[in-house]
Amino acid sequence: MTNTAPEAPRIVVGIDGSPASAAALDWAAHQAELTGATVEAVTTWKWPTSYGMAVPLPNDYNPADDAGKVLEGAVAAVRSAHPGLTVTTVATEGPAAPALLEAATGATLLVIGTRGHGELAGMLLGSVSEYCVAHAKCPVVVVRAP
């Protein structure tokens, strides 16, 4: 019989650099402290596309680096405010919603922010948050921007 310790609960949080994602990360950090969970901050990136003429980009343009900088900037504040908390980061290429669901496989909780920029003023969920709520295999918390 193998004696293995149970894996710590894991909270996945989506980061896009918006105030809503910062609020989601802060909420996830507080929840992780209460439950003994770790936090995995996830951001996505993709190369710009266009129809017709190619988009002129600087030679040194690297969306993966830009995404990593946004992610590290967001996480730095949480690590400072919650020094005992384990926070890992993942920057991956692709659309946000499927990437977040993939990252949340086996997670205790998925936390995402929403900016609520719908055509109707009463809409509370954006397309990524709506997709995640509808398809996630774990509970999802949607945090509105302050």
Q: Which domains does the chain have, with CATH numbers?
A: 10-144 (3.40.50.620)
Compute φ and ψ for 123, nearest 5 degrees. Answer: -70, 130
- Other C-beta atoms within 10 Å of 11: how many? 25
Burial (Cβ within 10 Å: 0-12, 13-18, ≥19) of residue 79: middle
The pLDDT score that the predictor gives to residue 145 is 80
pTM assigned to the model = 0.84
pLDDT values of the chain reduced to their tens digit, one per residue, 146 residues: 565 656 789 999 999 999 999 999 999 999 999 999 999 999 998 766 666 666 666 677 676 788 889 899 999 999 999 999 999 999 999 999 999 999 999 999 999 998 765 554 344 556 898 899 999 999 999 998 87
For residue 12, list its beta bridge partners: 40, 110
